[in-house]
């Protein structure tokens, strides 16, 4: 694995550090660690930096029974399969991190520097990719994640905006509308924490990762591909909107001109409504404070 990270054989680690990482990492992630250090390659010492992502099935909670189902969003072995499939974007504007390889249930990934991407830029580039990417017939591709989540959700009375509960009562109607929309290859968790503006990434090049200079300015990198699925067009925009309180619809359509605006808007609004309502119920039922303006934002986008 060190040879893959360095881009050359024969390296020997002469010093390093393991740093636990926090933040979005996916339901099937048991540990996320940044490994940094120096490797000696002949007479040269080369710095390296890589993310070690250890996977394990979800063992508790309402989705645990489905961790072994390849069509369920919680399938725990999907991410290595996604990286090996050739289905993930590789640039020039949108990319997944470089995967150096898999050892047992551990992924070794490029540690992507950068800041959160501008939501409008991210939406436009998502649209371009989804408009061009065919939906493959592979047995491990997730199904409609929102429908799976809704089926596993039991609504309990909570102290929340009554409009939210009225919206939730429309779930069968909204899911039926979503089922009639065009299907695209969906990231499944297109939220702000998974979208990086990474000016230093050089995806698709043959330059050794440990020694290459900063390049590919303006690339958008998507992390966490464990929920790669076939989903309704527009659905990925809901996670972006709920995590940024912005409306990415027009930017997406500018990048995905082949889709009808009515279809994208319905997929976006219906997914946002049900996802947002479910999150409000989840937060309120656990005594958590719902962020200011969250309920109004969800209701204002209701289809």
CA distance 145 to 271: 10
Is 237 a domain residue? yes
The total number of structural domains that make up the chain: 1
* Domain presence at residue 10: no
118 domain residue, yes or no: yes
Query: pTM to 2 decimals?
Result: 0.90
Are residues 201 and 95 in contact, defined by beta-carbon separation less than 8 angstroms? yes
Tens of pLDDT, residue by residue, the chain (303 residues): 999 999 888 889 999 999 999 865 678 999 999 999 999 998 899 999 999 999 999 999 889 999 999 999 999 999 999 999 999 999 889 999 999 999 999 999 999 988 999 999 999 999 999 999 999 999 999 999 999 999 999 888 888 889 999 999 999 999 999 999 999 999 999 999 999 998 754 443 333 344 333 234 589 999 999 999 999 999 999 999 999 999 999 999 999 999 999 999 999 999 999 999 999 999 998 899 999 999 999 999 998
Give the pLDDT of residue 22. Answer: 82
Residue 231: predicted pLDDT: 96
Query: In the prediction, which pLDDT does 210 show?
Result: 40
* DSSP codes joined into one string, 215-258: --TT-EEE---TT-EEEETTTHHHHHHHHHT---HHHHHHH-TT
Residue 160 lies in domain: 55-98+112-300
Distance CA 208, CA 32 (A): 23
Sheet holding 12-20, edge to edge: 12-20, 29-41, 44-55, 106-110, 99-103
Q: Is residue 47 part of a domain?
A: no
Note whether 83 and 107 are within 8 A (CB). Answer: yes
Check residue 24 and give its pLDDT: 57
- Tell me, yes or no, whether 34 lies in a domain: no
Asked if residue 30 belongs to a domain, the reply is: no
Q: Give the model's pLDDT for residue 212.
A: 33
Q: What are the beta bridge partners of residue 35?
A: 18, 50
Contact at 8 Å (CB) between 276 and 293?
Answer: no
Helices marked H in the chain — which ranges?
A: 2-6, 78-85, 119-132, 145-151, 162-168, 171-179, 236-244, 249-255, 261-285, 294-300
Q: Report the CATH number at residue 125.
A: 3.90.1200
Whether the bond between 268 and the residue before it is cis, its omega within 30 degrees of 0, is: no
* 239 within some domain: yes
d(CA 150, CA 175): 9
Q: Does residue 171 lie in a domain region?
A: yes
Residue whose tokens read 């996977």: 55
Q: Starting at the edge strand that comes first in sequence, how are the strands of the sheet with 115-116 ordered?
A: 94-95, 220-222, 195-197, 115-116
* Whole-number Å distance between alpha carbons of 67 and 85: 20
pLDDT (0 to 100) of residue 148? 96
Task: List the beta bridge partners of residue 107.
Answer: 53, 102
């Amino acid at each position: 694995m060190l040879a893959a990270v360095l881009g050359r054989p024969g390296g020997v680690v002469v010093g390093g550090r393991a740093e636990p990482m926090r933040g979005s990492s996916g339901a099937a992630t048991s540990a996320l660690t940044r490994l940094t250090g120096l490797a000696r390659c002949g007479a040269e010492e080369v710095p390296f930096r890589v993310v070690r992502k250890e996977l394990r099935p979800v063992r508790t909670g309402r989705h645990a029974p489905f961790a072994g189902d390849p069509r369920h969003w919680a399938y725990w072995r999907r991410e290595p399969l996604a990286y090996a499939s050739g289905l993930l974007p590789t640039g020039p504007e949108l990319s997944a991190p470089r995967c150096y390889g898999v050892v047992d249930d551990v992924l070794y990934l490029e540690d992507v520097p950068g800041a959160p991407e501008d939501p409008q830029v991210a939406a436009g580039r998502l649209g371009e990719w989804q408009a061009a990417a065919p939906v493959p017939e592979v047995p491990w591709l997730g199904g409609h994640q929102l429908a799976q989540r809704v089926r596993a959700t039991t609504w309990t009375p909570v102290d929340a905006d009554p409009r939210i509960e009225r919206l939730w009562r429309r779930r069968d109607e909204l899911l039926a509308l979503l089922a009639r929309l065009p299907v695209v290859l969906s990231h499944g968790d297109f939220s702000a924490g998974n979208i990086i503006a990474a000016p230093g990434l050089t995806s698709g090049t043959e330059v050794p990762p440990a020694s290459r200079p900063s390049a590919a300015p303006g690339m958008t990198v998507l992390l966490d591909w464990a929920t790669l699925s076939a989903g309704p067009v527009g659905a990925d925009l809901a996670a972006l909107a709920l995590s940024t309180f912005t409306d990415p619809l027009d930017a997406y359509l500018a990048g995905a001109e082949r889709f009808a605006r009515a279809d994208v808007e319905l997929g976006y609004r219906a997914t946002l409504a049900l996802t947002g309502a479910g999150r409000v119920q989840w937060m309120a039922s656990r005594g958590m404070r719902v962020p200011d303006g969250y309920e109004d934002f969800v209701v204002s986008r209701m289809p």
